[in-house]
Structure 1
Amino acid sequence: MFKKFSKDDIHSRSNIKSSVQRGLKTNFVNSYPDLSNAIDNIIPKKSQVILIKCEDKIQLYSVNNSNATNQDDHEDDDNNNEIVLIQHFTDIIPTLRTVHKYPELFPRVQVDRGAIKFVMSGANIMCPGLTSKGGQLPEDNLPVDTIVTVYAEGKENALAIGKLVMSVDDIKNKNKGIGIELLHYLGDGLWNHRE
């Protein structure tokens, strides 16, 4: 989704109203119920949220995370904005920066070491990378279209975010084909984008 993302893919930026911001926070928590205690840290009540409309019906939401009280403390307000979530049609997706701050709040899978180079080049994740000795899937069955964070064997932080193409049970039972469609990964255009 963001393999070749650049500033050219951005169509417009606009501040959103506080009522829209409240609705956005509610939708984010509805998608990831474990976020309920952290949502006011991710999107603080008094912060300004910016909607960034992009190609392919992608919407990014950026939050001004500047704590500077004096305008002289920072030359460019845009550098203090952090994209915290992505909306693509009805999918609400955290960015990797959000996941790195709150790793325990999102559904998680793990790929084996052999899959790392493929994930880091933007490839979708094949079932054997999730079911092999170094891979891990949740005990509970997650349905198709669930957004998951992708970790790698031996690594502490998430390296990608993806969407299940088949349920966790089907990944375990079929063990072939694409299991996760990759949406966002370390080093992609969104990761390297600065507001």
Structure 2
Amino acid sequence: MFKKFCLEEISSQNQVKASVQRRIRQSIQDEYPGLETVMEDLLPKKIPLIVVKCPNHLTLVVVNNVPLFFCIRDGPYMPTLRLLHQYPNIMRRFQVDRGAIKFVLSGANIMCPGLTSPGGVLDEEVDAERPVAIYAEGKQHALAIGFTKMSAKDIKGINKGIGVDTMHYLNDGLWKMERLD
């Protein structure tokens, strides 16, 4: 998704009205209840919220020139990896084995065997079409954020094909773009 993302891909930046800002805040709070205590620090009501649109149906939520969340089409808002590193417990987590690390860091989707092998860990509660944080065996921080293609039970049962679509990973275009200055 963000492999070659850069500032030139931004088609518009708009400061949103208070009503739209409330709707975005509520949507994020509903998706990530763990952020409720820090929501005022992340998305303060007094500081303008900027919504950045890109041609490939991508929307970024930006505060103080720092991208905090992204959304593809009408899907749920997902935190950027920088935000996830600050608040690691806000998302459901999957863990891949050591063999999958180099593939995930190059933008590959996460295959079911990488999640079900001895080094992999699945959160059994995750349904299909949900955002998840991807961690690696033996590593402290998340290396990717993805969108499940099937439920955790199906990933474990079928154990074949793509389990998670990788949306954002370490060292991709969004990661390198710390600020939108």
Scaled by the length of structure 2, the TM-score of the pair is 0.94
Unaligned runs of 5+ in 2: none
Q: Distance in 2 between matches of 1:162 and 1:107?
A: 11
Unaligned runs of 5+ in 1: 65-80
Q: Report the Cα offset of residue 35 of structure 1.
A: 2.1
Q: Distance in 2 between matches of 1:178 and 1:145?
A: 13
Partner of 1:69: none
Matched residue type, 1:183: M
Matched residue type, 1:127: C
Equivalent pair of 2:124/2:153 in contact (CA under 8 Å): no
Decide which of 113, 117, 122 is 1:128's aligned counterpart. Answer: 113
Partner of 2:96: 111
Q: Distance in 2 between matches of 1:63 and 1:104?
A: 21
Tell me the alpha carbon deviations over residues 40-79 of structure 1, each in whole angstroms, 9 at most, x when there is no partner: 1221222221111102111101101xxxxxxxxxxxxxxx
User: Percent same amino acid among aligned pairs?
Assistant: 49
| 1:145-156 equivalent positions in 2, closer than 5 A | 145-156=129-140
Equivalent pair of 1:42/1:98 in contact (CA under 8 Å): no
| 1:45-194 equivalent positions in 2, closer than 5 A | 45-64=45-64, 81-91=65-75, 92-140=77-125, 142-193=126-177, 194=179
Any idea what SS the aligned residue of 1:86 has?
Answer: strand
Q: Report the Cα offset of residue 90 of structure 1.
A: 2.1
Q: Distance in 1 between matches of 2:46 and 2:98?
A: 42
Any idea what SS the aligned residue of 1:117 has?
Answer: helix
Moved over 2 A (4+): none
Q: Distance in 2 between matches of 1:169 and 1:139?
A: 6
Q: Distance in 2 between matches of 1:84 and 1:13?
A: 15
Matched residue type, 2:31: S
Any idea what SS the aligned residue of 1:103 has?
Answer: coil
Equivalent pair of 2:128/2:150 in contact (CA under 8 Å): yes
Q: Distance in 2 between matches of 1:163 and 1:185?
A: 12
